Amino acid sequence: MLVVAGTLTVIGWLMQHLADQGLIANGAYGIATLVAGLPIIFKAISALRARVMSIELLVSIAVVGAVAILEFEEAAMVTFLFAFGNFLEQRTLQKTHQAIQNLTEMQPTTATMVVDGQYQEVEIDEVDEGAVLVVRVGDQVPVDGEIISGSAEVDEALITGESKLVDKTTGDQAYMGSIVENGQILVQAQKVGEDTTFGKIIELVEEAQDNQAPMSKFIDRFAKYYTPFVLVVAILILLFTKNLRLAITILVLACPGALVIGAPVSNVAGIGRGAKAGILIKGGDVIDQLAQVDTILFDKTGTVTEGRPTVKSIKEYQEDHWLALAADLEKQTNHPLARSIVEYYEKRGQKTTADFNLPITTIKGIGIQSEYQGQTIWIGSRRVLTENQIELTAQQSHDLQAIENDGQSVVLMTVDQKLVLMVGLVDQVRKGVKETFEKLKQSGIDKQWMLTGDNSFIAEKIAKTIGINQIKAQMLPEEKALFLEQLQNDGRHVLFVGDGINDSPSIAKANVGIAMGNGTDVAIETSDVVLIDSDFSNIQNARRVAKATMRNTMQNVGIAIGTVALLLIGVAYGWVNMASGMLFHEISILVVIFNAMRLLRMKF
């Protein structure tokens, strides 16, 4: 359609200006106007049915007016250039959506299932949770699941953005979309389809690019009232000057096409750049808020630390099977410390956890509670002691102090108000954390607080390592959320970074909540930004994307408004006619689009 209209417009111009064939020229212009103009008119009618006076309405009236005064060249030029501007807009949006299209195409479509010892190839939709799948060299992992047999070198670049191969063996997690480069593994499906990490990446990016920023919403409202305003101005000019051509020219040139697309194109480009770096920003609203934050609050375990602690010391105060019971209860939770205890127990004696079939109750900020043979079991942080008013022996107090002084996190197990087990664990600080906090401070986030449920000694040791001097230790989830709310009441724009269920209330309440990609589903679902590869430096990169996108949006708004103002001044002084004005108008749209596309090339 666009090619036909453009070709006919060129033919008309050649016939009119070079061959002096006015009749043929007008015929070509007329057909070009119909081809390019009918879709514009249909859009205008659809908008009117919805009681919206759209930009297409301005163009439609202007084109009909131009035809009425026998200005066929202007009518053809206006419709072609407007259609061309829409084409450029759609091409740009498609390009920024390319990340989603590429991800969708990369999804595995088949899987090799193990059924009664036989390999059976099935459609991916036929795979249910619990199914056992074989993944061989060159195959994509079709589900999220646990490796139950074998070992392999796996390329997880699609999930983490890291190109290096990862060694995987029995007990490790495998993610949908990963590629086995060497070896063979059996994977038991735990999440399939949209519930996988890969599926959520696609879903989050799609939702983000459909979510408008406040600036976009403002421009939509602006266009809603701007169109009738321009119509009234054109009518008044017609009434006072009796110059129909001038009134129609103003209708055409006052169309703020670049203004309408300026903010959405910037937002989509910014979100696309973030996704390319493993930063999922859930929409334009988030970009606006992220650019304004001046305070950062963050959790410790799994956020500034790797979240893969290892058992360093263990004290057993009764010769019984309490460690086995603790491992069995802890395997029902997804806290990093709990997982480490289970792994320690299984590796220590090459044992698997026993199956006591005991239900647990999770007490946020403290730990878990259960009943065993009429006895009350508690496993958790130091708060277990105060919660149950448990007194320690001199030896137990000495052990606890020594473990904490060494910077270890402590997990305690009590049975009927008696301490039976003490486990000390150590975790490593993520690479680049200290440098990221320094950069955030330089960029204007001058308030930086670490909030943790761990004890003050460990919190202070971690804080010193990462260069933070503001900490709050031994905090319950509700206390974190309350502190965050107090800062907001003081006028601070708060960014909260966390990874666990305990962090989800604060992540949801913050102006912007960031979840580490290796965190829990709850934290990821409630967050505004997800760091897929859990790279802490991407917090600073996310803010840079947000601020760059906001600057880009304001630049586009300035370009659009400036263009309309200059064109109207040109019309008033007779320097600009309808066709030349429309050409400059569409050039401004092109400039806005190219300006937004610069975000896709942004360097970190």
Catalytic positions: 299
CA distances from 369 to 346, 376, 392, 504, 538 (A): 22, 7, 19, 21, 37
Q: Decide if 387 contacts 366 (C-beta within 8 A).
A: yes
Torsion of the alpha carbons at 90, 93, 94 and 99, rounded to the nearest 10? 180
Q: CA geometry: angle at 114 spanning 108 and 115, to 5°?
A: 125
Please provide residue 528's backbone torsions phi and psi, each rounded to the nearest 5 degrees.
-100, -25
CA distances from 445 to 285, 293, 441, 486, 543 (A): 19, 7, 5, 17, 10
Q: Decide if 85 contacts 59 (C-beta within 8 A).
A: no
Pairing of strands 529-531, 512-516: parallel
Return the exposure string of 152-182: e unless at least 16 CB atoms fall within 10 Å of the residue's CB, then b. Answer: bebbbbbbbbeeebbebeeeeebbbbbbbee
Return the exposure string of 294-328: e unless at least 16 CB atoms fall within 10 Å of the residue's CB, then b. Answer: bbbbbbbbbbbbbbebebeebbebeeeebbebbbb
Strands (E), 331-465: 361-363, 367-372, 375-380, 409-415, 418-426, 447-451
